């Protein structure tokens, strides 16, 4: 295996990269004053004043089964991702081997790789996988479509092939994998909880985009549909991650996007693997 991986009990979790982008604080947090960015916050910025944002997906091996969390931006023209297939190939995992795909929410960089174009038609990339989506997000498609022009091509073929599984709220997906409804970023945003033996990990989708938010869960993000609810969801998950010592898998944090939340001088710090 070439990807960064870790164990969560009997599970193996691999951090895969679909691509990477960068953003300025003003682009992502336009409502936050520049004066709020003290040395503690700017420590997470690059020398050019931007924070690096990985486009991460997570592959979970459970027994003989593979579950993929998010599918990246996809390979269509204009995509700023598209590396996921190569990452899977490097691990020796074919798309046909994926038994389950969990989509944290219906934004382009998390669901854009659901399908590929073949002979002019969009077809499911993971033809044997149930695709788990919160019903609230599915029903909010009009909201997502404004920033996701290929939304129909990435979603409709999944439903037409009978691969779509809509769920309502918290639910078990497999024996060791469950989803937790964490609305705000989108109405049906969901995190993924991995639990095996005495070990747990949380995959957080777009609950947070940078470690800066560990100490500022109330900072509103430009792309959030319900900022106040998103802040509540963030705070609750961060409290649980810290309180229970969960491994944090945050796909937009700098690669490898897996690590721990620790306390230093009364503040949360991101400790990357």
pLDDT tens digits along 200-230: 999 999 999 999 999 999 999 988 999 999 9
Q: How many domains does the chain have?
A: 1
Provide the pLDDT for residue 120.
87
The rounded distance, in Å, linking the Cα atoms of 183 and 140 is 12
Neighbouring C-beta atoms of residue 179, cutoff 10 Å: 23
The rounded distance, in Å, linking the Cα atoms of 217 and 221 is 10
| CATH code, 46 | 3.60.15.10
Q: Taking a C-beta distance cutoff of 8 angstroms, is the pair 87, 54 a contact?
A: no
Q: Taking a C-beta distance cutoff of 8 angstroms, is the pair 251, 70 a contact?
A: yes
CB-based burial label for 146 (10 Å; 0-12, 13-18, 19+): exposed
Provide the pLDDT for residue 142.
83
Sheet hosting strand 164-167, strand order edge to edge: 4-8, 11-23, 51-62, 65-69, 98-102, 130-134, 164-167
213 by DSSP, 3-state: which? Answer: helix
Residue-number span of the structural domain to which 172 is assigned: 4-272
The rounded distance, in Å, linking the Cα atoms of 14 and 98 is 14
Tokens representing 239 are 């409290």
Cis amide prior to 256 (ω within 30 degrees): yes
Per-residue pLDDT of the chain in tens (273 residues, 90 and over written 9): 578 999 999 999 999 999 999 999 999 899 999 999 999 999 999 999 999 999 999 999 999 999 999 999 999 888 889 999 999 999 999 999 999 999 999 999 999 999 999 998 999 999 999 999 999 999 998 888 878 889 999 999 999 999 999 999 999 999 999 999 999 999 999 999 999 999 999 999 999 999 999 999 999 998 899 999 999 999 999 999 999 999 999 999 999 999 999 999 999 999 999
Give the DSSP letter of residue 81: -
**pTM (2 decimals)?**
0.97
Nearest CA to 179 out of 169, 166, 165 is that of: 169
On the CB side of 179, how many CA atoms lie within 13 Å of its CA?
29
């Amino acid at each position: 295996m070439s990807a960064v991986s870790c164990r969560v009990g009997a599970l193996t979790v691999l951090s895969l990269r679909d691509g990477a982008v960068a953003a300025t604080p003003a682009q992502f947090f336009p409502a936050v004053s520049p004066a709020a960015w003290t040395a503690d916050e700017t420590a997470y910025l690059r020398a050019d004043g931007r924070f690096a944002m990985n486009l991460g997906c997570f592959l979970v091996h459970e027994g003989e089964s593979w579950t993929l969390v998010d599918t990246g931006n996809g390979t269509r023209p204009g995509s700023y991702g598209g590396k996921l297939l190569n990452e899977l190939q490097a691990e020796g995992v074919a798309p046909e081997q994926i038994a389950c795909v969990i989509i944290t929410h219906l934004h382009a960089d998390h669901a854009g790789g659901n399908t590929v174009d073949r002979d002019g038609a969009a077809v499911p990339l993971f033809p044997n996988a149930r695709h788990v989506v919160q019903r609230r997000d599915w029903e909010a498609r009009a909201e997502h479509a404004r920033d996701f022009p290929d939304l129909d091509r990435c979603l409709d073929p999944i439903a037409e092939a009978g691969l779509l599984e809509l769920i309502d709220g918290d639910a078990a997906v497999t024996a060791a994998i469950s989803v937790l409804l964490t609305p705000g970023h989108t109405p049906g945003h969901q995190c993924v909880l991995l639990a095996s033996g005495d070990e747990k990990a949380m995959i957080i989708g777009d609950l947070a985009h940078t470690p800066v938010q560990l100490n500022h869960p109330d900072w509103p993000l430009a792309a959030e549909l319900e900022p106040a609810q998103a802040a509540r969801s963030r705070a609750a998950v961060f409290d649980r991650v810290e309180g229970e010592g969960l491994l944090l898998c945050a796909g937009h944090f700098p690669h490898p996007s897996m690590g721990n939340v620790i306390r230093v001088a009364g503040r949360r710090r991101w400790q990357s693997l």
